[in-house]
Structure 1
């Protein structure tokens, strides 16, 4: 197989502010260990000396790069550095706009190995019990959730669907922005490509919504089976931040679900004349009084 370039961060360099020494190398292949296929990875390192226990490694997909023509931003781990960037931009823009709402960002680790960080957060009840949580991340692009067509209001993942109140707040924000900006784009989809932290919040009993930006080369997997940089569209990232700021404004104005949700009210407030017509048609068809 073709060697795959990697970079390791060896925790043995006191002269670096991060305390690490970068070591380049490549993965030669996966091999059997104790009868288990692909349990051992063969490496070739450019520097002599063993890697220390705990050395962190990543695929070496090259430097961060923005394609000005396509608007695509390439980086080793858009999932979930894009989510971190959106969270920070949301906080900064909310403060700058004077949004009258308590907004905080929670940054967790070890998501990819089973939502470990967020599991610890919800187990400690680290967020206010009445908080509305919005999970923010980059998620595998799917039909109906495509790069460059705007952020996605995520109604669920591969494991669960999320809370209708969280969805309603985000839809209300979308409708308000689109009402004043015809070029603003938002998608809405159940993102079944994986499980995200919103599921952990739902299981813990928090009112939960979610947004994401569509992701290319999910988990560094290229369409031809190789390794490549993940990528997102910068417009999706920017519009996602705008959507979240507006969602904060919606909440600060006392949005109440289902009363303030137009879709819910349209169903609940079905005109009496339509209900009478439905009842009367049933009587005519059955030949009996209601």
Structure 2
């Protein structure tokens, strides 16, 4: 990964983010896209649309009569975290958690707290209550570290998440961070867009859209809101949604062994025709440097796309310590399954970027992905015809 890409990746990973509080991520992305002359706008839900400057341009791209599929890359800008509810004292804040979380060894865990203006504080968790299923935090108290200076921010303007030695740091080719899921996917879409528009300025509409969504961690809320707008309905060209995720490492999907051609998630398998295209691209682009698996450690926005009748496929970067739960342990994890920094591998991210670029190449395989397989099957039939 070159220095420019590494700087963009680490800048995104440093940003505070929680469901419905993606403003700092959006600010960085909008600045980067503006500097790179990549068009973008926000939809009515607050998602960031990359590759078009307006709803009108978006619709022209969707309604263009063209056999070349429109690739709609999707990633989410939020990570599980908490919202402030009310102040219990000058330095004690009651909070509610949104999304998944570790459920062990929580008392005394370090957290960061941010405001809309990106002012940051530090604190520790106390009096943690879990949701009824015991699978995640419900509410807790945060004890603010140190004395607060000046007027106290309104409780409901505050949000936060687990804190570690730094927002992001490297150890060899591993990147440890407070939140890789899914800021790595956001990075991949932004970098892909910057590459496409750097090489095609002034060209006709490129069959690319990026949708950077909000509040995925509480049930694909941003994606659902976008699909409900109906902007992808009645398309005059094929559309394929490509979910870019940072997904829990599993047997057969290991950190450092390459990006994963995601065959499905916990809820559903993905579109067989477009999945065959992705698989073929991965074999040609990253021979022996990619993985294939149903990534059923969680669900992703490809499920939401499928529910709205849109063909979907997915690419994942394997993720250690999913949702900050110390499944794999490592630095800053004080006990098994305790809060821990997430981690990913630079080679896996580079592989995801290569697959995204390869997916943007035009070709007949998009229209007849199974043609080579049919040719092979017919040859096999001819070989055994005499025995029938």
TM-score band (shorter)?
A: 0.7 to 0.9
- Could you say which residue in structure 2 is the equivalent of 1:23? 121
5+ residue gaps, structure 1, are 12-18, 280-290
**Normalised by the size of structure 2, how large is the TM-score?**
0.62
Structure 1 residues 82-91 or 187-196, which shifts more?
Answer: 82-91
Cα deviation, residue 85, structure 1: 0.7
- Tell me, yes or no, if the aligned pair for 1:26 and 1:44 is still in contact at 8 Å: yes
- 2:191 matches 1:89: yes
Once the two structures are superposed, what CA deviation does each residue of 1:246-268 show, in whole Å capped at 9, x if it has no partner?
Answer: 1211xx12324545553454346
- Could you say which residue in structure 2 is the equivalent of 1:283? none
Give the secondary structure class of the aligned counterpart of 1:255. helix
- Could you say which residue in structure 1 is the equivalent of 2:218? 113
Q: Distance in 2 between matches of 1:76 and 1:127?
A: 34
Once the two structures are superposed, what CA deviation does each residue of 1:188-243 show, in whole Å capped at 9, x if it has no partner?
Answer: 11001000000011111112111010000100001302111111101100111101
Q: Distance in 2 between matches of 1:77 and 1:32?
A: 21
Q: Distance in 2 between matches of 1:88 and 1:38?
A: 32
- 2:292 matches 1:188: yes
- Could you say which residue in structure 1 is the equivalent of 2:142? 43
Q: Which has the larger radius of gyration?
A: 1
- Could you say which residue in structure 1 is the equivalent of 2:156? 53
Cα deviation, residue 272, structure 1: 2.8
- 2:354 matches 1:242: yes
Q: Distance in 1 between matches of 2:193 and 2:157?
A: 33
5+ residue gaps, structure 2, are 1-104, 328-335
- Tell me, yes or no, if the aligned pair for 1:90 and 1:244 is still in contact at 8 Å: yes
- Pairing partner for 1:10 from 115, 125, 128: 115
After TM superposition, list the pairs within 5 Å mapping 1:65-144 onto structure 2: 65-68=169-172, 71-96=173-198, 101-127=206-232, 129=235, 130-144=238-252
Q: Distance in 2 between matches of 1:226 and 1:247?
A: 38
- Could you say which residue in structure 2 is the equivalent of 1:158? 266
- Tell me, yes or no, if the aligned pair for 1:258 and 1:264 is still in contact at 8 Å: no
Q: Distance in 1 between matches of 2:153 and 2:366?
A: 59
- The Cα RMSD (Å) is 2.7
- 2:326 matches 1:228: no
Once the two structures are superposed, what CA deviation does each residue of 1:38-69 show, in whole Å capped at 9, x if it has no partner?
Answer: 7541221124446521411111122310112x
- Tell me, yes or no, if the aligned pair for 1:131 and 1:206 is still in contact at 8 Å: yes
Cα deviation, residue 153, structure 1: 0.5
Give the secondary structure class of the aligned counterpart of 1:104. strand
Q: Distance in 2 between matches of 1:60 and 1:147?
A: 22
Number of aligned residues? 261
